[in-house]
Amino acid sequence: VCLVEDKPVLAEPKGTTQNFFEESPVLPTSSFTMAEDVQAALDEMVPALKDLQDRGVFSSNEIHQIVDRRRSTEYDVRRSTNPRKADYLRYIQDEMNLEALRQLRTKKIQQEERERERKEGKKDDKKEDVAGMEKPLGDKHIVKLIHNLWRRTLIKYGKSDVGLYLQYAEYCKEIKAHAALSRILAEALQLFPHQQGLWIEAASHEFFVLGSRVFSHAPEAQQDLWIQLFCLELHFCERLSARSTILQGGASKEDGKNKETVAGDNDDDDNAKSDRHKIAKLVYKNAVAAIPDSVSFRLRFWDQCRLFSDTERLQQEIVESTRTDLCKDNAEAWMAWALFQWERKQNRKEEDQDKDDGSDEEEEEQEENNSQDGSTKKRSAGSIASKGSASKKLKSDSGDEGDAWSVLDILRRATQELPTEEMYLKAVRMITRYIATLQQEEEDEDEDEDPDVALGFELLETLFDEAAKTQFFSADLVMEQTLLLQRLNKKEAAIKCLEDFAEQKPVTEALKVWIYLAEISEKGPIPILTKALGGADMNHPSYYEVLLHLFGAKLEAQDDSNLLALFQKLVLLTPGFLPISEIEEPIFGIPHAPNACLQFLRYLRSKGDTVHARKVYRTVIFESSLGNIFNEFDEDMMVTFVEEAVALEQDSSGKKADKRNALVRLLEEASKLFEDTELGRKYQERLREVKLAGPPTNEGALFLEDTTMGTGGSANLLNEKFNKFQVVFLRRDCSGAINRTPIDFGGLFDGLTDEDKASWCIETPGRHQDENVAPVEFLGPSMPAQRGYCSFLVQKDESAYRNTLDRLPLQNPLSGIHWHYPSSALWLFVGRNPLGNLNLRGRPEHTDSITNDGTWHFQYSGQKTWFLRPSQQLLDHFKKYNVATNCTASTRIRVECRQGDILCVNTRLWFHSTAIPAQETKSISYARDFYLKEFEAGRGDNGQSVEGQGSMTNLDGLYAVENIEEGTVIFSEKDMPDCELHSSTNPNCEVVELDDGTSALVSMRSIKAGEFFCVAESDSEDDASGDEEELSVEHNHCTVVPGI
């Protein structure tokens, strides 16, 4: 609902509907009936809307908007041809949003009214009558309309869409419309009787909301429904118990002392509790009759009982029925019986401790002695026999006599009655947990050892000896036996057990044993896994898993022997064992084949073995189908693998042309691998960058990479090279000096004058950086994820300029050259581009309007990439002085500047742009403009500029690169570069409208080469605002300048 100004309040609702509906559309005769129905429906809304307007909930304009929307939607849902369900749902959602707004505004109005009455001193006498007051007509109107819309929707689409009923039911629950909810659930169950979710929802609503119980009318084969019905009965019993406690007023301490007297016989009390669960028992009995042979189904009932209090007798009956009916041939039934006895023992022990806490110290000692004597006698009478002797028989099927069986008795009898691998394995594991729990309790409570501990170890030994003589003695049983021996500090016996089993069984059956033996054996994993690999069947998955473990073990031990051969086996076998499976707990760090290839590539890179590392990534990406297989399995890992390969080629030594060709091929394959994805587009962008850089052009003539330069001869060589090519690149290693003199650039900027701070400029096109971030924060060590490229000048504050120069690791590139600087200006460039991003581009390609010979840039930290292209003036220079080069106007040269490198370049003759590669550190460089020949005038002996020399600015501008006559179209609107025009009181160009309706910049007078374009100053600064567009064409008459 749009909020607009109020308009005159409507008159009486009757006879004034034209105020609401005056914009009713003119309809053809065939539509009169529908139009009349719509109008009639809207007429019925008038009183309610009038009430909302009178009470200030909605304004007159808002009422008009509501009516217009409802009219339009009513026509949509009433059209006879092709009505859409989406129109109904949209109508309902709009009304629900309107109701939410009405509630907020009504609440606000009521709060304001109460606040006003409080200030006036009036008492709130209406509080008691609020509950009985009827809601205003307008407050009920929207909810009533929503119910009506839901009914219309269900009539039209509900018979085939149960989701609509569920949505309507959810809305009824939100607004607590219980009667409507009951009605809608009943209707849904009639239409969709086989939807078990509806039955559960209906039963839950009837029980928890309305307080009544529902017997299931659902299909009897649905397990979830039986469980839910059982839980409802337990909830009902719990509620009755709580209500009984409240009515009796609770139990006092005195009543607690006489608990047995008040309660009477314990058996009667148990029977009373059991009687409360009669209906729950009936539900369980009917459920078991419907699904008789499922142990897991019966155990789900037991699990639910354990969540409620006073259900021990019910639990016992469930376990007893499971034992009686299914223990004969079902291991789960035996385990449930044993677990039940274990829990009963725990509960009784806790009850005894609670009783002991309330007695005197002397009585406690006496009871402890008696209980110890009694328990010892009981255990002696009911203990299991040693190995070779028969254990006692089941006394009876009754629950009372069944209580005499201990956990160990039950598990021993289970292995005798059901001698299978599953039963032995489950019994061994439960006994192991049982013993560990008893020992932990003894340690925590400082008690004597429970006799079951020694008997448990004895029974485990018996079970292992018996299993070893059977055909089902498996690797899992051997593993359990080994863990037990290790726990008893018998490592040699554990290893012997593993070795014997591994020798007797094939690798396919003993795979776990071989792997664990490799982990704990003193021989080391490599010889054991090598032996296992030799005995395995190459066509079985066990061979492939052993191969992965062996490969990981060799990488972990840095054992290079046969490592490449194992990698080749892995490459050949992987396509035959698809889909790729992952080892859940890789002992040697290799969970699957993609990870193995990635770790192998990293391992070879760390060793500097570029040849074999290149073979690894080429095998995966170029020479096999593994690239696509790995990408489907784990795209992130495949991206990491490709990035490792790219980093390998970028860091490799050798000819730059070979590196470029390798990168091009690698990025081409990566683009195909991630085709039609965002990753693919990123790799295509990187591929274009590498291709645009082009092959190195006359590299030996253009660049100097001598790290020992510093003599007079070197100075002459630099002068010669620079005068010829107007660019020199010096590869230097100054990392030691840089690391000894770290500079806080954030603190440096914070200490500058306001004039120098005003030079802060965002170099990044497209405004990648958040301009709200303070420069000090961007320059500081924090915000590692910040992405941006900025620059500033140090020149106005002479003291700061000198102090900064003194702290820099390099003030002059070569000591053998007498550098002359036209001004006291120091440029600083800082870029952040965290790993995982594309290259961060600086300003578009441009030349600078400078008069000095050039600028040297020193890379203080990180990396920066320069792209150079000769201008026509530079090509004329090459031709004039017969410079041997094959550069053309389209030649682009890529220069990778790393820490310590220096680039001397004439930015007036070389078109240039920069990019910040993704990296972990900041890219920081500083620059100074220089002359190689001293000024004839205005120059001191030390080569520094004299006071009054023009200062530098950090602004964009457009200037003419050639003389332009008056009336020349410099560029049109569509060719406008990414730079704003300067304004001046003496403009030399103006914006005019061409015949085709587009705008263009036209010269007002003759403009000389080097003169900046400027237009007349605007009356309002807002006139100059506009969206920036990237420069996408080359201009014949102008150049973008980032530093004037």
Query: What's phi and psi for 876, nearest 5 deg?
Result: -65, -35
Contact 150, 171 (CB under 8 A): yes
The pLDDT value recorded for residue 938 is: 40
**Three-class secondary structure of residue 243 per DSSP:** helix
pLDDT band at 239 (very low <50, low <70, confident <90, very high): confident
CA separation for the pair 1022, 1033 (Å, rounded)? 27
CA atoms within 13 A on the CB side of 543: 15
Neighbours of 6 (CB within 10 A): 13
pLDDT surpasses 60 at 416: yes
CA separation for the pair 863, 880 (Å, rounded)? 35
pLDDT surpasses 80 at 1017: no
Return the exposure string of 317-348: e unless at least 16 CB atoms fall within 10 Å of the residue's CB, then b.
bbbbbbbeebbeebbbbbbbbbbbbbebbeee
Contact 859, 901 (CB under 8 A): yes
Contact 497, 478 (CB under 8 A): yes
The pLDDT value recorded for residue 395 is: 37
CA separation for the pair 179, 367 (Å, rounded)? 60
Q: Fill in the DSSP letter of residue 1007.
A: B
The pLDDT value recorded for residue 418 is: 86
Q: What is the mean pLDDT of residues 488-514?
A: 88
Long-range contacts of 676-685 (CB under 8 A, 24+ apart): 679/635, 679/639, 682/838, 683/642, 685/838
The pLDDT value recorded for residue 829 is: 92
CA atoms within 13 A on the CB side of 63: 30
Name the nearest CA neighbour of 320 among 348, 340, 296, 344.
Answer: 340
CA dihedral 182, 184, 190, 193 (to 10 degrees): -80
98-112, 242-256, 277-291, range with the lowest pLDDT: 242-256
CA terminus-to-terminus distance, the chain:
53
pTM over 0.85: no
Instruction: Write the CB contacts of 325 (distance below 8 Å, at least 6 apart in sequence).
Output: 292, 333
The pLDDT value recorded for residue 1026 is: 35
Our CA angle for 799, 800, 803, nearest 5°, is 85
SS3 per residue for 99-128: HHHHHHHHHHHHHHHHHHHHHHCCCCCCCC
pLDDT digit string, tens, across residues 528-566: 999 999 988 988 999 999 999 999 999 999 998 889 999
User: Which amino acid is located at 198 in the chain?
Assistant: L
pLDDT band at 97 (very low <50, low <70, confident <90, very high): very high
pLDDT band at 22 (very low <50, low <70, confident <90, very high): very low
CA atoms within 13 A on the CB side of 901: 19
Neighbours of 829 (CB within 10 A): 22
pLDDT digit string, tens, across residues 675-701: 888 888 888 888 887 776 655 443 333
pLDDT surpasses 90 at 567: yes
pLDDT surpasses 80 at 150: yes
pLDDT digit string, tens, across residues 188-202: 888 888 777 777 777
Q: Outline where 622-763 has alpha helix (H).
A: 626-633, 635-651, 656-673, 678-693, 699-702, 712-725, 735-740, 745-750, 754-757
Query: What's phi and psi for 914, nearest 5 deg?
Result: -135, 165
pLDDT digit string, tens, across residues 831-881: 988 876 778 888 778 888 778 889 999 999 889 999 888 888 888 888 888
pLDDT surpasses 90 at 1012: no
Contact 740, 752 (CB under 8 A): no
β-partners of residue 792 are 828
Supply the mean pLDDT for the chain. Answer: 76
CA separation for the pair 840, 914 (Å, rounded)? 9
H/E stretch holding 33 reads: helix 32-54
Strand order in the sheet with 864-870: 840-841, 910-916, 864-870, 893-897
H/E stretch holding 601 reads: helix 593-607
Q: Which residue has the tokens 């409570």?
A: 445
Q: Is pLDDT larger for residue 427 or for residue 275?
A: 427
Q: What is the mean pLDDT of residues 444-466?
A: 84
- Interaxial angle between packed helices 331-357 and 421-445, expressed in degrees from 0 to 180 and rounded to the nearest 10: 10
CA separation for the pair 233, 281 (Å, rounded)? 9
Calculate the alpha carbon distances from 986 to 380, 965, 994, 1016 in Å: 115, 17, 23, 7
Contact 228, 203 (CB under 8 A): yes
CA separation for the pair 640, 647 (Å, rounded)? 10
**Three-class secondary structure of residue 826 per DSSP:** strand
pLDDT surpasses 70 at 622: yes
CA separation for the pair 222, 888 (Å, rounded)? 81
Instruction: Write the CB contacts of 172 (distance below 8 Å, at least 6 apart in sequence).
Output: 178, 180, 181, 184
Q: Is pLDDT larger for residue 828 or for residue 771?
A: 828
CA separation for the pair 223, 298 (Å, rounded)? 10
pLDDT digit string, tens, across residues 196-221: 777 777 776 665 554 444 444 444 44
CA separation for the pair 428, 464 (Å, rounded)? 9
pLDDT band at 14 (very low <50, low <70, confident <90, very high): very low
Q: What is the mean pLDDT of residues 117-132?
A: 60
Calculate the alpha carbon distances from 859 to 664, 830, 856, 965 in Å: 26, 10, 10, 42
pLDDT digit string, tens, across residues 692-746: 665 544 333 344 443 333 334 456 777 788 888 888 888 766 555 565 567 888 8
Q: What is the mean pLDDT of residues 752-768?
A: 74
**Three-class secondary structure of residue 902 per DSSP:** strand
Contact 587, 519 (CB under 8 A): yes
